[in-house]
Structure 1
Amino acid sequence: MKKVLFAAIAVMAFGVSNAQDQTKQGKMLIEANTGNAMLGSTGFFYTSSDGESSYNIGFDGGYFIKDNLALKAGIGFGGDSFDDSSILSYRLGAKYYAMSKFPVTIDLTGASIKDAVENPMWLGIGAGYAWFLGQNVSIEPGFRYNHSLNEDFTDKGVFQLNVGFALHF
């Protein structure tokens, strides 16, 4: 029992020390996240129902301006088959790794929709857990809430569950 407990503590300590190395000032990250078709996204998604489909491809990048704090920007491109629209999405924000393991984000996400009278914009806040799989890779499941800043487009907030994949270098 002591050996199992010792091994578990050693694995956790390695994960924390590895995370601290990857979130230091001067490091960079590139992220790909699962997305949500309900709002402008810099993530990945594909949906299909009754012969209609929609998709998005995107990524975020960041630079650690100080230990555990990264400024981020993202871009995504998507569309759908039912009205032949195209959507260019963008995101600007910050990501803070509390205790080097719990990412907390705040950002502004918007979209430019082809031929749309109005374009959506959201203020988002999220939190999750960063599971570091070695020197340069983390998996970051989390949740976020997006508050609409454009009442004419939508006055509803949107909750999301995401899984992010990040490269740290």
Structure 2
Amino acid sequence: MKKLALALCLLAVSFTAQAQFEKGITIINPSLSGLDFSYSENDKAKFGVGAQVGTFLAEGIALMVNAGADWSKPIDEYTLGTGVRFYFNKTGVYLGGGLDWNRFRWSGGKHQTDWGLGLEAGYAYFLSRTVTIEPAVYYKWRFNDGDMSRFGVKVGFGFYL
């Protein structure tokens, strides 16, 4: 019973938290090292790192820029992109989407460049007024090579300044 009461209290606090989703606030969102787990046709499991930086253009709407790298064998991957996040009712729940550019490099020296669309759904759980833990699920669809498309789960920190 104590666990249920604690869970309900934490849920109530998270929905009443005064989030930092106002115009002009800056977000810095690095993914935790090695906790970007994903699945695709080419590789069964991948671990990588990434970071997003953005600013709120209006309340609840943030323009984001991202970069990432993954040095899993046999493919190294580098990513640059931009997108938008929509936050709902200051609860921390968000949906995001964007366009990104990927550079793939195989062990044998072969290179490939591809564009893609990404979709993301997550939750910004506020540890303090400006620091969050942000678990999310995402799907990255590649334009030229569907086998490089990826579904995954990631955990990151958010800093709202």
1:52-71 correspondence to structure 2 within 5 Å: 56-71=48-63
| Aligned residue in 2 for 1:134 | 128
| Aligned residue in 1 for 2:85 | 95
SS at match of 1:139: strand
| Aligned residue in 1 for 2:143 | 149
TM-score normalised by L of structure 2: 0.72
In 2 relative to 1, CA 156–67 (structure 1 residues): closer, same or farther, beyond 3 Å? same
1:108-119 correspondence to structure 2 within 5 Å: 108-114=99-105, 116-119=110-113
Alignment of 1:74 onto 2:72 = no
TM-score normalised by L of structure 1: 0.69
What are structure 1's unaligned runs of at least 5 residues? 40-46, 48-53
In 2 relative to 1, CA 38–92 (structure 1 residues): closer, same or farther, beyond 3 Å? farther
What are structure 2's unaligned runs of at least 5 residues? none
Which AA in structure 2 matches 1:102?
A: V
| Aligned residue in 1 for 2:95 | 104
Q: What is the distance in 2 between the residues matched to 1:19 and 1:103?
A: 15
Q: Contact 2:124–2:158 (CA<8 Å) still a contact in 1?
A: no
In 2 relative to 1, CA 106–81 (structure 1 residues): closer, same or farther, beyond 3 Å? closer
Cα displacement (A) at 1:15: 3.8
| Aligned residue in 2 for 1:26 | 24
SS at match of 2:128: coil
Q: What is the distance in 1 between the residues matched to 2:123 and 2:69?
A: 27
Q: What is the distance in 2 between the residues matched to 1:125 and 1:19?
A: 26
Q: Contact 1:25–1:65 (CA<8 Å) still a contact in 2?
A: yes
Q: What is the distance in 1 between the residues matched to 2:73 and 2:149?
A: 25
Q: What is the distance in 1 between the residues matched to 2:78 and 2:84?
A: 20
When structure 1 is superposed on structure 2, of 55-64 and 11-20 the one drifting more is 11-20
Which AA in structure 1 matches 2:30?
A: A
Higher relative contact order (CA 8 A, sep 6+): 2
Q: Contact 1:18–1:134 (CA<8 Å) still a contact in 2?
A: no
| Aligned residue in 2 for 1:35 | 36
Which AA in structure 1 matches 2:112?
A: E
Q: Contact 2:97–2:120 (CA<8 Å) still a contact in 1?
A: yes
